Amino acid sequence: MSPTDCHLAPEAKRDEEIWFEDGNIIIVAGDTAFRLYKGILSAASLVFKDLFSVPQPEDGETMDNCPVIRLPDPATDLRHFFRAVTKPDFSHLRHDYKPAFGMLAAVCRIGHKYQADEVVDAAAARIENFFARWPSTAATIISKNRGRMPLTWELFWWAHNRLCLTAVEIQDAFEAVGLARLLGRPSILPFALYLCCAGDPLHMRDGVPRPDGAVSRLSSEDYLRCIQAIPKLRAACSDKIRSVLARSMTASVLSDCTNGGQCAEVFEMMHRDFIEEKYVPVVTDLFASIRFLRTKPVAYTTYYLCLCSKCVLRLDVIEYGGEAAFLTKVFEL
Ligand SMILES: [Zn+2]
């Protein structure tokens, strides 16, 4: 390449992945240059279509005889977006394709800004599926186990990632809240806000850094929603425990007690002490059966060894605070 062919700032380097040798437009973000095709970008994005319809100035920046356009977006986000619209690797055709949340979010952010509606719809639907489908995952685990296996938060989270075929970390919820607002997809909000409450409290205050250096932060309004919701989520968890203990006391339920029904008295003492106890569960305990609570009530640890092997399993009954409507109400959405 002769010096006259290239007027690109020397700090910009060719991207190793998004560089098509016969591409007809070069897009520079920070110190990264992408070489792509105008036609493909125009088909995906209204903003790029408009941009390319304007004749480029003759003395504009060029490289390899290609016009150069500079964008202010992070190169990492643009790479995800360009990969999605120009370079399918067919992984999405595999039955176990499990995209990472960060990739889907970057495609949504850039796609929304450049009005690439179809690719945004596809990525946002994947995110929406994860955040709106939690009651279905809970129901699936319970029905498959038929009460034989206790539920833990870790089991729920693993199963939910697996059933939704999306790789999400709890702290991704902060960005999901922002995307729900940006894209007008409110069904993402209840579970995303719940996860914000379930994670590191400092993230609620300070936000979560993204790879591009930006920080995903709750708005003051959503921060307040979370702060006000945490006591309600804990109360729902306590109600669940109380309800399981109360039901376990009844003789009809104790028909298979190997202590001749005497476990009813043990449940009664557990229930009585639990009501007196100032028990503070963690937020994710909403998804755990009593034996697998993160912090166990003293009433449970005091008496559970007195229960027979049949009756102790009664404590694995799961009672949720309900379906999606429960979280919608808790967060006052
Ligand atoms: Zn028993």
Domain ranges across the chain: 1-74, 88-209, 228-316
Ligand 1 centre distance from Cα of residue 244 (Å): 15
Domain 1-74, CATH number (from 3.30.710, 3.40.50, 1.10.287, 3.60.15): 3.30.710
**Residue 296 Cα to chain centre, angstroms:** 27
Q: 28 Cβ partners below 8 Å, 6+ apart?
A: 8, 9, 12, 34, 68, 69, 70, 71
Ligand 1 centre distance from Cα of residue 303 (Å): 12
Rounded to whole angstroms, the Cα distance separating 35 from 28 reads: 9
Give the confidence band of 311 by pLDDT, cuts at 50, 70, 90: confident
The C-alpha R_g of the chain, in whole angstroms, comes to 27
pLDDT computed for residue 252 by the predictor: 65
Ligand 1 centre distance from Cα of residue 306 (Å): 9
Ligand 1 centre distance from Cα of residue 140 (Å): 28
Q: In this model, does residue 212 exceed pLDDT 50?
A: yes
Q: In this model, does residue 57 exceed pLDDT 80?
A: no
Q: In this model, does residue 305 exceed pLDDT 80?
A: yes
Ligand 1 centre distance from Cα of residue 147 (Å): 17
Q: In this model, does residue 3 exceed pLDDT 50?
A: no
Ligand 1 centre distance from Cα of residue 261 (Å): 6
Rounded to whole angstroms, the Cα distance separating 242 from 279 reads: 11
Ligand 1 centre distance from Cα of residue 275 (Å): 21
Give the confidence band of 299 by pLDDT, cuts at 50, 70, 90: very high
Mean pLDDT of the chain: 87
Collapsing DSSP to helix, strand or coil, 71 comes out as: strand
Q: In this model, does residue 333 exceed pLDDT 60?
A: yes
Residue list, CB under 5 A from ion ligand 1: 257, 259, 263, 308, 311
Q: In this model, does residue 9 exceed pLDDT 90?
A: no
| 182-196 as b/e: b if 16+ CB within 10 A | ebebebbbbbbbbbb
pLDDT computed for residue 34 by the predictor: 96
Phi, psi of 14 (to 5 degrees): -65, 135
Ligand 1 centre distance from Cα of residue 250 (Å): 11
304 torsion bin: left (phi>0), alpha (psi -120 to 50), beta (else): alpha
Ligand 1 centre distance from Cα of residue 255 (Å): 9
Ligand 1 centre distance from Cα of residue 258 (Å): 5
Ligand 1 centre distance from Cα of residue 297 (Å): 20
pLDDT computed for residue 92 by the predictor: 66
pTM: 0.84
Q: Are 273 and 299 in contact (CB under 8 A)?
A: yes
Ligand 1 centre distance from Cα of residue 58 (Å): 87
Give the confidence band of 314 by pLDDT, cuts at 50, 70, 90: confident
More confident residue, 89 or 302: 302
User: What six digits make up the tokens of 237?
Assistant: 């968890």
Ligand 1 centre distance from Cα of residue 231 (Å): 33
Listed residue (244, 245, 247, 290) closest to 272, CA to CA: 245
Give the confidence band of 123 by pLDDT, cuts at 50, 70, 90: very high
Q: Are 111 and 104 in contact (CB under 8 A)?
A: no
pLDDT computed for residue 40 by the predictor: 92
User: Could you give the C-alpha distances from 80 to 54, 61, 232, 302, in angstroms and in order?
Assistant: 26, 25, 39, 54
Ligand 1 centre distance from Cα of residue 57 (Å): 85
Ligand 1 centre distance from Cα of residue 259 (Å): 5
Ligand 1 centre distance from Cα of residue 300 (Å): 15
Give the confidence band of 289 by pLDDT, cuts at 50, 70, 90: confident
Q: In this model, does residue 53 exceed pLDDT 60?
A: yes
Rounded to whole angstroms, the Cα distance separating 107 from 247 reads: 49
Side by side, the strands of the sheet bearing 62-63 are 13-19, 32-36, 25-29, 66-71, 62-63
Q: Are 129 and 164 in contact (CB under 8 A)?
A: yes
Q: Are 29 and 9 in contact (CB under 8 A)?
A: no
pLDDT computed for residue 98 by the predictor: 87
Q: Are 111 and 41 in contact (CB under 8 A)?
A: no
Rounded to whole angstroms, the Cα distance separating 78 from 19 reads: 13
Q: In this model, does residue 139 exceed pLDDT 80?
A: no
Q: Are 256 and 250 in contact (CB under 8 A)?
A: no
- Average pLDDT for residues 97-124, to the nearest whole number? 93
Ligand 1 centre distance from Cα of residue 2 (Å): 87
Range picked from 111-115, 132-136, 329-333 for highest mean pLDDT: 111-115
Q: Are 102 and 211 in contact (CB under 8 A)?
A: yes
Q: In this model, does residue 229 exceed pLDDT 50?
A: yes
Q: In this model, does residue 111 exceed pLDDT 70?
A: yes
pLDDT computed for residue 72 by the predictor: 94
- Average pLDDT for residues 96-103, to the nearest whole number? 88
Ligand 1 centre distance from Cα of residue 291 (Å): 16
Q: What is the dihedral of CA 300, 302, 307, 309, to 10 degrees?
A: 70
Q: In this model, does residue 137 exceed pLDDT 50?
A: yes
Identity of the amino acid at 278: K
User: What six digits make up the tokens of 323?
Assistant: 């379906």
Listed residue (277, 126, 130) closest to 195, CA to CA: 130
